[in-house]
Amino acid sequence: MSEKIKPCHCGHEGELMGMRHSGFLSLTCPKCNRTVEAFSTEGLAQSWNKPAPTPPQENDR
């Protein structure tokens, strides 16, 4: 079962730029240039759908 691609962290919900390289695949958001890479389409979807990293808070230092 394939995982559905979610919108980009920047909010872009349109088409993404997908590329097949020799040995791996990549997806890039045309709005913010966020890119993920993986060896399979399932791994690509999982990498893309990971939650956005949270920036460090002032109290985290």
Both structure tokens of 54: 């949270």
For 3-60, what is each residue's pLDDT tens digit?
899 999 999 999 999 999 999 999 999 999 999 999 999 999 999 999 988 877 777 6
For 18-27, what is each residue's pLDDT tens digit?
999 999 999 9
Phi, psi (degrees; rounded to nearest 5) at 43: -65, -35
Q: How far apart are CA 29 and CA 18, in angstroms?
A: 9
Count of C-beta atoms within a 10 Å radius of residue 17: 11
pTM to 2 decimals? Answer: 0.80
For 45, how many CA atoms within 13 A lie in the half-sphere containing its CB?
Answer: 9
